[in-house]
Chain A
Amino acid sequence: MKRAVRVKVNGTDCEQAVDVRSTLADLLRENLDLTGTHVGCEHGVCGACTVLFDGLPVRACLMLAAQADGHEVTTIEGVAPPGEALHPIQEAFATKHGLQCGYCTPGIIMSTCAFLKEHPAPTEGEIREMLAGHLCRCTGYHFIVEAIAEAARVLAGA
């Protein structure tokens, strides 16, 4: 069973015919070639596929593509437009070594985008609580926490 879905992805209107059992992650990766959204566990545990849905973080594996009809999605590809400088959050992950293999990173950055809007000056505890929704098997999280704290400082203009 196919269904037409109209969705605004990273500011661009897209119309796609999707299999109704396709997830939002499938739509992004397979129909739109936006492979920056990584798929880890495919059942809502690891957080790798996190994207912004109408500005709020959601797991793209726990939402059907058909449910995104009429909504707006931002992926890691939309955080800083192609050809332009990295977003301060991305920059902080690079300078603070907040990633190793990089598999979990796009999801964490999407959550961080939403998190820092609500918590512009987060405590370490708040950062760690937000990170509880993401699994990283390389870093031990320590440098990720530092990267997010650094991004908060830069975004606040400190």
Chain B
Amino acid sequence: MKPPAFEYVAASSAADAVEALRRYGDEAKILAGGQSLMPMLALRLARPSALVDINRCDDLEGLAESGGVLTVGALARQRDIPADKLYLAPLTTSLESDELATSARFQLPPEGAGWGFAEVARRHGDFALVGCAAVLALDGAGAVSHARLGFFGVGGTPVRSAPGEAALMGREPTPARVVEAAKAAAAVLSPDGDLHASADYRKKVAATLAERVLAAALSRCGRAR
């Protein structure tokens, strides 16, 4: 299908884009890569009265690292939102209608950290039924000094696993403890079931993937100096 009619604004800066958002109230949508918005327009699931194209905003470009923080996008920003306060549900964030996410900032992992990532999808490149990512670092004695474990596809938002991280922090990551941490992480998940996978199945897959990504992260860890 073709998108419904809309007005098109080619913003030249972040301030310009925010000004356009104010002008249209909650009737405007930001057009960046278009990978999600354009299909939604074509399917008429979204019918904004205006699109604000930010592809020509030079001040929103670029990658920068400073003080152990990687900034993707511009340095200019008006309000910082932690990731767990940003995502509310699929395609829904806590941004107000006149707000624009101008950058994403990531704390860099400590030196020697290892990572793991795995997902299960019906087809290559399709949305994951369940996915899991982990970053681990070890101290000089071989105990876990940094642990991050997160899931996706198990709820309306990305889910970071406090129990999974707590089960490893400060301890030696023996194979038994990794299994225990993966189980603890999956136990508290409450995924929805749908046509593609039941809630039970997602939970089981989450435990298996958590075990695999934690093991992969450990195998990539270098010891701290």
Interface residues of A (CB under 8 A from B): 1, 3, 19-21, 23, 26, 42-45, 61-64, 66-67, 69, 129, 132-133
Chain A residues with Cβ below 8 Å from B35 are 44, 62
Do B39 and A21 touch across chains, with their CB atoms under 8 A apart? Answer: no
B198 CB to nearest A CB, Å: 25
Do B38 and A3 touch across chains, with their CB atoms under 8 A apart? Answer: no
Most buried by B among A23, A44, A64, A132: A64
The contact of B34 among A45, A63, A69, by CB within 8 Å, is A63
Do B5 and A62 touch across chains, with their CB atoms under 8 A apart? Answer: no
Interface check B4, CB cutoff 8 A: yes
Chain B residues with Cβ below 8 Å from A3 are 8
Chain B residues with Cβ below 8 Å from A19 are 5
A44 CB to nearest B CB, Å: 5
A-B CB pair tally, cutoff 8 Å: 59
The contact of B39 among A1, A43, A66, A132, by CB within 8 Å, is A43
Do A66 and B42 touch across chains, with their CB atoms under 8 A apart? Answer: no
Complex Cα distance, B29 from A92, in Å, reads: 44
Chain B residues with Cβ below 8 Å from A133 are 125
Interface check B96, CB cutoff 8 A: no
The contact of B6 among A21, A42, A45, A67, by CB within 8 Å, is A21
Q: Which residue of A lies closest to B10 (CB)?
A: A66
The contact of A67 among B1, B39, B41, B53, by CB within 8 Å, is B53
The contact of A42 among B1, B5, B10, B53, by CB within 8 Å, is B1
B173 CB to nearest A CB, Å: 32
| Contact A21 B125, CB 8 Å, known A44-B39, A62-B39 | no
Do A63 and B38 touch across chains, with their CB atoms under 8 A apart? Answer: yes
A25 CB to nearest B CB, Å: 10
Interface 1/0s, chain B 25-42, versus A by CB < 8 A?
000000100110011011
Subset of 13 A-B contacts with CB under 8 Å? A1-B5, A1-B7, A20-B6, A21-B8, A21-B41, A23-B3, A26-B2, A43-B43, A64-B34, A64-B51, A66-B10, A67-B53, A69-B10
